[in-house]
């Protein structure tokens, strides 16, 4: 076992070389792209145009422009291939509604039933940890994730759905940073009733009410998301009303109790113990979002989210919290990427309410919350063979200031971050907290079967006295400055078997700046290197 760890950690740098070789060696392969069309892998005529430029020109307004949803979400919502491809830009298909090898076919294609799943395995390693002790200097993790989803249509405007997730981790060290974000064995993540209310809302609209356990993406996914790269996912118990008008406007209103993933103790995580997740009224998340189509040449979203949190008793199984009472309003205006056009996005979020500085049982002081997050980006897609897209980004999230009466560190709630800030899991250095970071990104998508990108980001602290993002490194005096370092990331995805077996590999290099080198609790390690190799099989 130790020899396997040493081999992987000693050769993770080879993943960078592997990614480069694959990027150069894999052709754009238009013949294989055509075969997907000919074999029915792309069944919508207005998406499966004869030329790649025509395919890319199809509209994506009204859909999240930053990341495709998981395959199970496309399946549960009954999306067509057209919608899946509209959610994925450029034309690379990171998800599918039609796996080549299907559990549905194996069961004899039963009427009124959708069923399927996926199996994902990822080996990852980190060298020269940026987190303080007791985090290990080097670590490795084999992350395995299996999910099976089923939904039955009763024929009476009611659907019954459920999904089981099995997320496990192996090979990590006893003091690994792997936690409930990596391990949640055999969990009933979804168990819901979905009521079709389209007739009630009328005027050509589509609407539904979902009750029970469910997962959910809302808006940009920065504040509420079904995680993709992370080995476990956010899940909620409650109710959600979703509506889409004939003019493509959309609305979501929800009230939920977020799940507390269990086990949350080190022995249970290392043993992949099976413990049912819990939800209760001590943690509530609710809000609404309204999206206006065709505003200022793009799409406008207005939203507001509330979070109520309280300690769960004082016994051995109690959970101490920061007693957050947060209200998070914001807006987002964006135009989706298209060939030979500029695209752009602006999102601004403010956070107010009450919270305590720590979750310690002795911390009883409620502080006024005043925090913010701001994101903007602009990109251009060149209408050439590989559809290269260059984008410029800027992110700023407040950190906690030295004012003892106010808490100013932004809370990203239940959002995802991998697509913007790099891999999470054993890495996950960057988050929407105490961050100032411009960035530049280059993406290429030669065909539906593979894509790649490279991103560069300098990293700064918004407040020099607070800990940087999720690193845990802090200098309360501010003497270590506000330059955390530079992050370089690259990723390659390739369909080994289209619509069945997907490979994903990437590397991230964190060049430590003065803050991560000289802060009082910064580990005395060199620059951080992280690499992973992942495959996903859909069935």
Taking only the tens place, the pLDDT of each residue in 383-397 is 998 999 999 999 999
Q: How sure is the predictor about 68, in pLDDT bands with cuts at 50, 70 and 90?
A: very low
Task: Say how far apart CA 132 and CA 144 lie, in whole Å.
Answer: 27
Going by C-beta distance under 8 Å and a sequence separation of 6 or more, which residues neighbour residue 473?
A: 130, 131, 132, 467, 515, 516, 519, 521, 522
Task: Say how far apart CA 64 and CA 478 lie, in whole Å.
Answer: 38
Tokens describing residue 7: 């081999």
- The percentage of the chain sitting over the pLDDT mark of 90, rounded to a whole number, equals 72
Asked if residue 116 lies in contact with residue 100, where contact means CB atoms within 8 angstroms, the answer is: no
146, HSE (Cβ side, Cα atoms, 13 Å): 5
Q: How sure is the predictor about 316, in pLDDT bands with cuts at 50, 70 and 90?
A: low
Range among 24-38, 203-217, 303-317, 356-370 rated most confident = 203-217
Q: Measure Cα distances from 485 to 128, 359, 439, 480, 495 in Å.
A: 14, 29, 13, 12, 34
Mean pLDDT for the stretch of residues 219-243: 96
User: Chain-wide mean pLDDT for the chain?
Assistant: 86
Mean pLDDT for the stretch of residues 234-241: 98
Nearest to 530 by CA among 509, 504, 505: 509
Per-residue confidence (pLDDT) for residue 402, from 0 to 100: 85
Per-residue confidence (pLDDT) for residue 263, from 0 to 100: 94
Nearest to 140 by CA among 533, 535, 537, 536: 533
Listed in order, strand segments (DSSP E) in 183-282 are 184-196, 206-214, 236-244, 250-258
């Amino acid at each position: 076992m130790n020899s396997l760890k040493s081999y992987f950690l000693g050769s993770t740098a080879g993943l960078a070389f592997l990614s480069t070789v694959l990027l150069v060696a894999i052709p754009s392969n238009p013949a294989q792209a055509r075969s997907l069309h000919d074999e029915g892998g792309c069944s919508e005529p207005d998406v499966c145009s004869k030329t790649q430029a025509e395919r890319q020109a199809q509209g994506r307004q009204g859909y999240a422009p930053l990341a495709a949803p998981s395959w199970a979400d496309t399946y549960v919502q009954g999306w067509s291939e057209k919608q899946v491809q509209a959610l994925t830009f450029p034309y690379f298909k990171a998800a599918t509604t039609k796996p080549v090898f299907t559990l549905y076919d194996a069961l004899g294609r039963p009427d009124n039933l959708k069923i399927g799943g996926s199996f994902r395995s990822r080996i990852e390693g980190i060298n020269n940890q940026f987190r303080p002790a007791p985090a290990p200097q080097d670590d490795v993790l084999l992350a395995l994730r299996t999910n099976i989803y089923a939904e039955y249509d009763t024929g009476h405007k009611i659907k019954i759905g459920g999904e089981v997730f099995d997320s496990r981790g192996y090979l990590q060290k006893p003091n690994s940073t792997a936690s409930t974000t990596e391990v949640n064995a055999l969990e009933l993540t979804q168990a819901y009733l979905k009521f079709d209310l389209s007739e009630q809302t009328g005027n050509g609209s589509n609407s539904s009410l979902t009750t029970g356990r469910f997962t959910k993406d809302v808006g940009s996914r920065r504040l509420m998301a079904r995680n993709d790269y992370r080995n476990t996912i956010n899940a909620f118990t409650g109710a959600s009303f979703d509506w889409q008008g004939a003019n493509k406007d959309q609305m979501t209103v929800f009230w939920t109790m977020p799940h507390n993933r269990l086990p949350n103790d080190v022995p249970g995580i290392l043993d992949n113990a099976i413990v049912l997740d819990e939800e209760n009224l001590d943690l509530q998340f609710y809000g609404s979002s309204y999206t206006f189509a065709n505003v200022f040449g793009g799409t406008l979203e207005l939203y507001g989210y509330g979070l109520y949190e309280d300690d769960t008793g004082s016994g051995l199984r109690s959970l101490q919290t920061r007693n957050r009472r947060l209200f998070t309003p914001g807006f987002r205006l964006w135009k989706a990427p298209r060939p030979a056009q500029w695209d752009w996005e602006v999102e601004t979020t403010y956070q107010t309410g009450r919270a305590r500085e720590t979750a310690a049982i002795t911390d009883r002081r409620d502080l006024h919350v005043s925090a913010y997050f701001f994101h903007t980006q602009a990109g251009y897609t060149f209408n050439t063979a590989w559809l290269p897209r260059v984008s410029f980004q800027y992110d700023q999230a407040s950190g906690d200031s030295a004012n003892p009466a106010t808490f100013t560190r932004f809370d990203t709630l239940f959002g995802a971050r991998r697509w913007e800030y790099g891999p999470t899991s054993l890495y996950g250095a960057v988050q929407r907290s105490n961050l100032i970071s411009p960035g530049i990104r280059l993406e290429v998508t030669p065909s539906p079967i593979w894509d790649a990108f490279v991103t560069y980001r300098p990293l700064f602290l918004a407040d020099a006295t607070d800990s940087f993002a999720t690193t845990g490194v802090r200098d309360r005096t501010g003497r270590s400055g506000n330059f955390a370092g530079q992050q370089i990331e690259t990723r390659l995805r390739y369909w080994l078997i289209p619509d069945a077996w997907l490979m994903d590999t990437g590397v991230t290099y964190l060049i430590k700046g003065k803050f991560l080198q000289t802060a009082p609790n910064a580990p005395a390690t060199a620059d951080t290197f992280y690499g992973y190799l992942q495959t996903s099989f859909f069935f």
